[in-house]
Structure 1
Amino acid sequence: MVREECKALLDALNKATACYHHLVLTVGGSADSQNLREELQKTRQKAQELAVATGSLLTTALRDKHLDAEERSEFQRLWVAFSGCLELLEADMQRALTLGTAFPLHAPRRPLVRTGVSGRSASVAARALSVRSLRHDAEPDFDVEDLRKLEREILQVGKMIHDMEMKVNVPRWTVQARQAAGAELLSSAGASTAGFLSVEERTGRCDLSKALAATVFSAVLLAAIALAVCVAKLS
């Protein structure tokens, strides 16, 4: 039950982290707005809450000395995936701080970076946060206060990463993956090959002798047609 709960939390953390990454890419672009900054705040807070819950469960599980080898290996794989999510979240938070400082919302004639993204991104955040609507009204200095809060939260995430490394020592190079690198690409390619082979099995493999006989028959037929045309012209 604990393992399934950890997987569910990690899946939710993955989605929230991916959503936050998507939103950070629009900061300073043509889709940037006060509403986007609010969505960023909500998304990163949700990701941090999920990270705290996931880290607590995984730490308790991995410090259990009664775990068998199979269970421990599975929790170690979850731990590696969890630590990767935290590092990506921290990097995106630092990127959001840099971009938010460079592109303040209420600066006069604020230059925009043409990212190619336009419109509203509320639907993406709503799917990740499972909310029906997002708040649109905010104070004029919302982005200033939010950047200060973001600085503190970056330190908190960094401390979380440090603490988890001190509490549970799981070297990444010792954790074995359950499938080889690029297995998804290989599986899709294998499916295509299997489909091709199934068609080949239904239609039958090419017989070289039959193909040669068909070629000879076609040549004789063409020669007969040419001869008939010549006789018709001479007569």
Structure 2
Amino acid sequence: MLKEECKALLDALNRVSACYHHLVLTIGGSSDSQNLREELKKTRQKAQELAVANRNKLTLILKDKSVSKEDKAEFERLWVIFITCMDLLEVDMRKALELGQEFPLNVPRRHLIQSGMSGGTSGVASRAMSVQNMRYEADHNIDMVDLKDLENEIHQVDEMMYEMEMKVNVHQWTVEAKQEPGAELNGTHSAGASSVGMISVDQNKSVCGLRKVLVGIIFTAVLIIAVILAVCVVKLS
């Protein structure tokens, strides 16, 4: 049961981290918006919650001396996968911070478009600029707060990973894989490729057979016509 729980938590972390990765790629694009930034914040916070749950459970199990050698090896493999996932999550968080700083959502407009508003030009411009600046400052402050929170969360992830390495002495290079590299791909695709190959070979054989039959029929027809023409020529002469 512990293995299944750990695998389920790790699978959930991988899914949320993958979702966060795809959201980060859209920062600064045409689909960037306040909704996207809020979704990014919710997703990364969910990923961190799952990371804490994974850390607590795996740390507790790996520090348990009563765990069998076989089970410990399996949990160590899950630990390595967890560490790798956290490394990728941290990279994406740093990328989101960098892109968020490069592409702020709201930029103050420095040029006003005359729209037929009544009043003196200076008065209209001053009123428009004051309202516009107030709105920009509010939105800009929201963005800055979120980026500051993101920066703090990156430090928290760094500290968590450091504490994990101190509490659990698992060297990644000592953990053995259960399968050869690409075994999952070879197991499915090789069978599929062989079946497709057999089908293509059978199809080629059938096509070649039909071609031979057609060539034989055409050759026979030409031969019969030639014989008939030769007989006709002999009789006419």
Which interval holds the TM-score relative to the shorter structure?
0.7 to 0.9
The answer to whether structure 1 residue 99 and structure 2 residue 102 are counterparts is: no
Q: Does residue 1:50 correspond to 2:50, yes or no?
A: yes
Larger relative contact order, structure 1 or 2 (CA cutoff 8 Å, min sep 6): 1
The answer to whether the aligner puts 1:72 opposite 2:72 as a matched pair is yes
Aligned positions of 1:143-182 closer than 5 A:
143-182=143-182
CA distance in 2, matches of 1:159, 1:229: 97
Shift of the 35–230 alpha-carbon distance from structure 1 to 2, 3 Å rule, reads same
Gaps of 5+ in 1: 110-138
Return closer, same or farther for 1:62/1:230 CA change in 2, 3 Å cut-off: farther
* Aligned residue runs from structure 1 range 144-223, under 5 A: 144-186=144-186, 187-197=188-198, 221=220
Distance 1:226 1:36, change over 3 A: same
SS at match of 2:39: helix
Runs of 4+ aligned residues of structure 1 deviating over 4 Å after TM superposition are: 213-220
Partner Cα distance (2:176, 2:159) in 1: 27
Q: How many residues align?
A: 201
Q: TM-score, normalised by structure 2?
A: 0.74
Deviations 1:101-139 (A, max 9, x none): 111111236xxxxxxxxxxxxxxxxxxxxxxxxxxxxx6
TM-score by length of structure 1 reads 0.75
Opposite residue 22 of structure 2, the aligned amino acid is H
1:227 offset after TM fit, Å?
3.5
Give unmatched runs, 5+ long, in structure 2: 110-137
Paired with 2:87 and 2:156, the residues of 1 have a C-alpha distance of 12
Going from structure 1 to structure 2, the CA distance change for 1:108 and 1:64 (only over 3 Å counts) comes to same
Task: Mark the structure with the bigger radius of gyration.
Answer: 2
Q: CA RMSD in A?
A: 3.0
